[in-house]
Amino acid sequence: MSIPKYICIEGVIGAGKTSLARKLGEHLDAQVIYEQPEENPFLKDFYKDPQRFAFQAQLFFLLSRYRQQQESVQPDLFHDLMISDYLFAKDRIFAHLNLEDRELFLYDKVASLLEQNIPKPDLVVYLQSSPERLKYNIWQRGRSYEKDISLEYIQSLNEAYNKFFFHYNDTSLLVINSTQIDFVNNKSEFEDLAQQIMRPHYGIEYYSPAHLDNKLKK
């Protein structure tokens, strides 16, 4: 098994996907692909009135992520490693959580066509965290369009993510218990996490840095 060359970082809103992708990119001199949620003109309205704006927000995300993947996930002469702060397939988590049946039927038709042209990563890193920690992280970063997110929505999203990755088998998956770590401000915790990510992987693996033994459990 070889070390991963294309890595996707995933997790619920507030898990630290972008922060980890950025730090890994700097640490490993990698090309980094960033999701750009602030470009979605329906997102602020969705958080205020989910029923009314869910389909518009979801379809915009799907199409914009597809365009970005087509433009960005290409061989790079200057970098051996590529990191994305989202997994394209995770779009379905939000769709199944937020769309009503007729909207979901139409969404699935479009998504199924687009997914055929999306390259799969070598490794997905899932930052698993508690709803309370996620809510705190969201509050701390202070994005105006996220101020209306409720703890109840975060809890439902957390459950949906856990269910999605419990059944995930498309690529190698590393599940990180990130509730009690601070890879943004703690250098040793970040370096430990980077070391765990940048080794060969196979199947589904779990890593809990907070445990005393600090050992990988399969």
Give the separation between CA 162 and CA 181, rounded to whole angstroms. 19
DSSP 171: S
CA Rg value for the chain = 17
Closest Cα to residue 91, out of 77, 75, 73, 110? Answer: 110
In the residue annotation, 76 being an active-site residue is answered as no
How many other C-beta atoms are found inside a 10 Å radius of the C-beta of residue 35? 20
Q: How far is CA 203 from CA 25, 171, 174, in A?
A: 24, 7, 8
Give the active site residue among 49, 76, 85, 182: 85
Token pair for 59: 């379809």
Mutual orientation of helices 91-98 and 151-166 as an angle, nearest 10°? 130
Helix 91-98 × helix 101-115 angle, to 10°: 170
Q: Cα separation of 161 and 88, whole Å?
A: 14
Task: Please give the sequence-ordered ranges of beta strands (E in DSSP) within the chain, or none if there are none.
Answer: 6-11, 31-33, 82-84, 123-128, 172-177, 204-207
Question: Hey, which residues are catalytic here?
Answer: 85
